[in-house]
Amino acid sequence: MDAVDFQILAELMVDAQTPFSRVAKRIGVSHETVRKRYEKMKNEGTIRQCTVLVDGHKLGDEGTVFLMLSCAREEKKKEVMESLKQIPDLYMIIELIGDYDFFAWARLKNLHQLAQLIGDIRNLGNIDRMETLLLTQTYFTFSLTPEVAMKCNGMDLPKRP
């Protein structure tokens, strides 16, 4: 990671779809350099995800569910993670250290779907505690560093000043 990499990331964090040629012009390197470095950062995992944000409300979603799960036995954690990955409505699963072992995000479409989802997770076994948090937001933006991305909480999206 050098200054050019940071600049490329900073441009793309405002709008991930900015054409490479525009990024190149703005930071004063060649188009090819931007492309190569982008590919490299993607392959190395520095760029984890490049995605469009979808307003779930427009597709009929009610919001988002945050699930906090606690595993009954330490040695079953891997197994539980693998089974959680198979549940289609969960879109992010994070392993935790603390009161709970997993933090999962899911779409909240309606109460019927929520009941189904919770039932599916309970059926996996090995989970002894579950906390369900219902949120009205359907999409989230992240800002990783104060210097690079604008601060965004909840619904606010980054905007070019």
Distance (Å, rounded) from C-alpha 110 to C-alpha 77? 29
Q: Which two tokens stand for residue 135?
A: 């949120």
Nearer to another protein among residue 4 and residue 93 (C-beta)? 93
List of residues contacting another protein (CB under 8 A): 1, 9, 12-13, 15-17, 45-55, 57-60, 66, 68, 81, 84-85, 88-100, 103, 106-107, 109-110, 112-113, 131-137, 139-146, 148, 151, 153-154, 157-158
- CB of 30 vs another protein, minimal distance in Å: 18
Q: Least distance (Å) from another protein to the CB of residue 103?
A: 5
Could you tell me the smallest distance in angstroms from the CB atom of residue 124 to another protein? 15
Q: DSSP states of 144-156 as a string?
A: --TTTS----TT-
With vertex at residue 50, the alpha carbon angle to CA 45 and CA 56, rounded to the nearest 5 degrees, is 135
What is the identity of the amino acid at 28?
Answer: G
